[in-house]
Structure 1
Amino acid sequence: MTLARRKEGVWQAAAPRPVGDPAVLLAALLRDADAVVLGLDLPLGLPRGFAAGRPEPDFPRFLHGLGAEDPFFQVNAGLDTVSPGRPFYPLRGVRGMTRAAHAAALGLPDAAALNRWCDRATAERPAGAPLFWTLGANQTGKAAIAAWRGWLCPALRAGAPLRLWPFGGGVRELLAPGAAVLAEVYPAEALRHLGVVLSGSKRAREARRAAGPSLCLAMHCLGVRAEPALRQALEDGFGTDAFGEDRFDSLLGLLCVIGVLEGVRPDFVPDDPWVRRWEGWVLGQTALPRT
């Protein structure tokens, strides 16, 4: 998590740090702020073909109804147990498995139906991973399971002051004293918003370090002032360990949120009822899918 506080028109940004216990995260953030916006690098929404079979009116109500022990969160080892009530797959790699077969097991017409509209490729970036897929470096299913089961669902059921964008309106509409707005961010999208071009994979420390000057320029344009530890992290490429990419991504997510709050990026959501009620959208994204 990378945290920034707005004081007298300037954002003071700290260095990335572990989130800690999710159960106390919201209370800790709201102790020091009138309102909070959290950019989450994980899916907030369901693909429309899947959502069409749900009895709830929208995604927030769907989350509210899930319990921590719900079979929905159990990852399937094989297609024989995949169902709308247990959609995540696969538990491990199996020869010959395909996303088309996964879609068919869920009653969807093709592999493309596994993706939300915001997951699909645009003219500006490649496609993201489908929500229910849990294999490979590009998958997002495990992040969704961890965040939904371990934090969001229990918090919503307990009445926590959480507001999910874009299901309840625009970011500024949702901002309120004592509440936190949650919005989905996508680091690959944020890079393009910020005009940062990587010289290699962001998994590599040297590529992250080379992006430092461009990120510093983007922060200056957004009115973000880096605290000394964040400046050091930028110069250092966010460390040599396996979590360097996570720290880098968390800063990208923060700058994406600030860009929308400052009006540099529009608070855009397609005028599509499936997007606004079920699929969600990526904060700051304006490009529509190619197909």
Structure 2
Amino acid sequence: MVPEEAWYRAGEVEVGQRQFLVMDPDGYLLRLAEDIGERPAICRPAPVAGQQPVFERLTHADWSVSTAKRWSASARRQDDRWLVEAPEPVGNVAAFVDAAFADAAIQRVLLGFDFPIGVPIAYGAQTEFRSFREMLSALSGEAWSRFSEVARLPTEIGLTRPFYPLMSTKGVSRTELVAGLGVASFDDLLRVCERCTEHRQAACSLFWTLGGNQVGKGALTGWSEVIRPALLRGSKLWPFDGTLEELAHTPGVVLAETYPAEAYRMARAAFLPGQSKRRQADRRGKAEAVMARALRIPRQAGRGFRFDVGHHSEMKPARIPI
């Protein structure tokens, strides 16, 4: 990448830096930057009636229990365009979160993850916590010390140990989880956003940890490694702390859960029968639809934004797992 000069709004001034990306011998991208001072903020056009405020940096992390499978992609707003960067490994999670807060010192950051953030209503009502935030805080207490331990036997399932089963064994069934958590049906262990719609099947319950589409173990690592530490540093949590429109007015980091299956559909890039998001060729085949959708957004939103696909076209396809 050729060195570039970038300016970011910070209150009444703009903070500048000269930056560029280099690739190390292992194929990882490194961003090097130098501060170049401040300047009076450039006045932007008055908001169009009905136009929502926007974040200046968007980062999405494709999460996994395995640290080697965690990847992130970012886009940053620069004047009238969005610069979309190539995916890169999340790497050290603490450093990843630190980088988001460093960016948030000069711009509004939306940080998304594809693991569940929240619990089913039927379960939450039993805990008597007033909010998911309150529940997260309580998990560090003695009464909830075994919350993240996946139950091995049905008799171990309970309010403070809701994840099951630890492994696949003969006779293991969802009815044991339903009975152990005292709900009427397995559907009661789905959050509203996980229920079946006309466009997709129901997702897997947060608490059921068996099968290829289980998400519970990923959520546990995400809550402990990202969500709880970030909340302690003052981040906001969507939707619990407000709507995206409200939170876009808030300086700092906003954390949000993302729904890849919904994003595929909205971008007209949904995977058809016989296709799989786990096959790179199938994922790459959706790139044209995604780009076409991105190019339509400016006309539909009336904001005049342009989308530039990041500065890494020289990278080999194998280095960019779309």
TM-score, normalised to structure 2, is 0.68
Residue 97 of structure 2 is aligned to residue 26 of structure 1:
yes
Q: Give, in angstroms, the shift of residue 238 of structure 1.
A: 6.6
Q: What letter corresponds to residue 308 of structure 2 in structure 1?
A: R
1:207/1:108 CA distance change after superposition, 3 Å: same
Unaligned segments of structure 2, at least 5 residues: 1-71, 298-305
Q: 1:121 aligns with which of 183, 188, 196?
A: 196
Partner of 1:195: 268
Counting only pairs closer than 5 Å after superposition, residues 46-57 of structure 1 correspond to structure 2 as 46-57=119-130
User: What residue in structure 1 maps to residue 225 of structure 2?
Assistant: 150
Retained in 1: the 8 A contact 2:157–2:181?
yes
Q: Which entry has the higher C-alpha Rg, 1 or 2?
A: 2
Displaced runs of 4+ in structure 1, greater than 4 A?
none
The residue number in structure 2 matching 1:266 is: none
1:59 aligns with 2:132: yes
Residue of structure 2 in register with 1:204 after alignment: 279
CA positional deviation for 1:181: 1.0
More helix by share: 1
- Is the 1:67–1:153 Cα contact (8 Å) retained in structure 2? no
Q: Report what 1:106 is aligned to.
A: 181
> What is the root-mean-square deviation in Å for CA atoms of aligned residues?
2.2
Matched AA of 2:218: A
Amino acid corresponding to residue 215 of structure 2 in structure 1: T
- Runs of at least 5 residues in structure 1 that lack an aligned partner in the other structure: 249-291
Which one-letter code corresponds to 1:87 in the other structure? Answer: P
1:82 to 153, 157, 166: 157
Change (3 A) 1:185 1:232: farther
| Structure with greater proportional strand content | 2
Question: What whole-Å deviation, never above 9, does each CA across 1:7-47 have from its counterpart, x for those lacking one?
Answer: 11211111111122222323312323411101210101110
Task: Answer yes or no: is the 8 Å Cα contact 1:13–1:224 preserved in 2.
Answer: yes
Q: How many residues align?
A: 237
Give a deviation string over 1:131-189, Cα, whole Å, max 9, x none.
11112210110111101122222333xx3121111112111211356421111111111
Letter in 2 for 1:9: D
Deviation of the 1:226 alpha carbon:
0.9
Deviation at 1:106, TM superposition (A): 0.8
Moved more, 197-206 or 79-88: 197-206
Q: How far apart in 1 are the matches of 2:200 and 2:141?
A: 34
Q: Percent identity?
A: 34
Deviation at residue 211 of structure 1 after TM alignment: 1.2
Q: TM-score scaled to structure 1, two decimals?
A: 0.75
Partner Cα separation in structure 1 for residue 216 and residue 75 of structure 2: 28
Q: Is the 8 A contact 1:36 1:180 kept in 2?
A: yes
Assess if the C-alpha contact under 8 Å between 1:88 and 1:141 holds in 2.
Answer: yes
**Alignment check: 8 A CA contact 1:131 1:141 kept:** yes
C-alpha contact (below 8 Å) 2:97/2:226 kept by paired residues:
no
Q: 3-state SS of the aligned residue for 1:109?
A: coil
Determine which of 73, 93, 109 is the counterpart of 1:2.
73
SS at match of 1:52: helix
Partner residue of 1:213? 288
Contact 1:212 1:237 in 2 (8 A): no
Matching residue of 1:282: none
**In the alignment, structure 1 residue 167 sits paired with structure 2 residue 259:** no
Q: What SS is found at the alignment partner of 1:224?
A: strand
Offset of residue 219 of structure 1: 2.5
Q: Secondary structure at the match of 2:127?
A: coil
Q: Is the 8 A contact 1:67 1:149 kept in 2?
A: no
Rate the CA distance shift 1:177–1:164 in 2: closer, same or farther, 3 A: closer
Q: Which has the higher relative contact order, 1 or 2, with Cα contacts under 8 A spaced 6 or more apart?
A: 1
1:232 & 1:196 partners in 2: Cα distance? 25
Measure how far apart 1:68 and its partner are.
Answer: 9.1
